[in-house]
Structure 1
Amino acid sequence: MLPNATSPRQAPSPPHPVPGASSVTRRDAASERGARATEGAGAAGRAERGATMTEYLPEIAIGNEGLLDECESVWKQMEECQTKLMLLRTEMPVKSHSQLSLLMMQGKALAAECSQWQKRSPEVVSTDSEVLLALGKEELQKVKNELEMMLSTVQSKTRKLDEDLKREQQWYDEQKQILDVLNEKESKTQDEQLSKKSLNARTFCELQNNILKIKMYKEELLSSLGGFLEEHFPHPEKGGSGKKEDSSEDPAVKLITLHEILEILINEAVTTPHEPYVTINDSFWPPYIELLLRSGIALRHPEDPNRMRLEAFHM
């Protein structure tokens, strides 16, 4: 450690020219801070090593001169930066209010940094190897402590991230299982729908075919029935039974065939099943009516003998 030094104003002046009164003042302030630092270092040195002041006077003078030169160079650099900043402010036009506010903020930041540098006192490092070794050990211990703290913080964050990863992985597995089940159900549902559609299509085609067959069978039955009725039960007037042989006058009412009577009865039973009775008029030939009633094809109304209906064979 350095012993107590004399006042820094007694040290030789720096080789750089004095830029002005403000520079001299700042240099004096820096010299005072250097002096205070060297005084503290000298007091520690006296306590530890017990050296005399006369042994370290040349080193103190050289150290103070180096500190003053360094402070002067730093202040000179700061003045140059400030000058460049002022020149930039005057030369570059402000394009907008936002740029002006940004430059003002930068100027304030530089001013604050300058004040901090002014308040900061220079640190004098001794040339003694033991002192440097002790300082190095102390710095290394600080770095070690900081690294250990950082390591513990990183490890705790890593453990937390591992736990979060496990939870997320578990949630992902659960969601994947649910998705697989839903996909399986959806595929089954689609298969069932396709099978139902195919079954419905087949059923519909079969029904259409059956309807066509029934219609064809109905046409065949109607044709067969019409041929049978025309052959065995002809029109009363054509058969000669509907009028007398010696009569020369036409009947007052035109008689209808048995086929037409059955058609009237069938239509009435289908269109109005709640009231299927048909009124017997003069166009109905009595022998055909008697034939239908006796054969059980038609029934008379229980209260009105002039009305009859078709027997409900489908019931």
Structure 2
Amino acid sequence: MAEVKSGERAAAVLSEAAQCELLDLCEDQFAQLEKLQNEVILCEPDFGENPQEQSINRLIATEAELKQWLAVEPKLLAANSEVLLQAGKEEMLKLCSELEMVASCYEAKRDKLRETKELEQKWLEQKNQVLIAASDHAERLRMEKETLSELSVLQDTKAKIQKMKVYQERLMESLGDVLEKHVPLPQNEPSANRKKKNIELEISEDLISLNEILEVLMNKVLNTPHDPYVTIDNTFWPPYVEMLLRYGIAVRHQENNFKIRLETFF
């Protein structure tokens, strides 16, 4: 029927003979349509029948009709070449429009795929750069490891030890300066002053400074960590010892009060 309508639209540009032939063909098609409609009305099933039987009959009729249409050979719309040419033009225009829509869809899909491809390429380039950088770093570490010898390790260790010794000496010098300034070694007062104050105690000249006491305690801990205690003799000024014990810098031996050691600070 679509072909017949297409032929009717094309009749305006056809010759008189072609228009007459096309009109006759349309009348034949409408007559056949009316015949088929009457047959369908006459073949309507009785509503009193079983619904299951109706379904079976419809299925049988549909299969028979399908076989009949498969057996029918297709016929031309019309024998006139002008009608066929015009119908062909209509179909070609319709097909071109559909193909244009399909091409437009595929172009949009192609643009989307191209954009995705560009993003994937950028991501791949970034990953390649990271891989190259990691490979260079690994190669550099491998070469450094191969060129690193026992001599270089020993020299590096000696340099670190020397730095620690210099740092320790600076610390000890700073500690000595602070102690010398704020905790000086006690001095004997003139005899005239002692008589005025009725002081009979005289400071021994063998006393060592607080800095030296701390150095003795630290050396004892480092040299003999299994026996870190130092015996208190007349060179240790009692106020210094008492100050170290009071502020938690040193501790007494549990069994011998004349032995002290440096407090463990770790």
Normalising by structure 1, report the TM-score.
0.33
Please tell me whether Structure 1 or Structure 2 has the larger radius of gyration of its CA atoms: 1
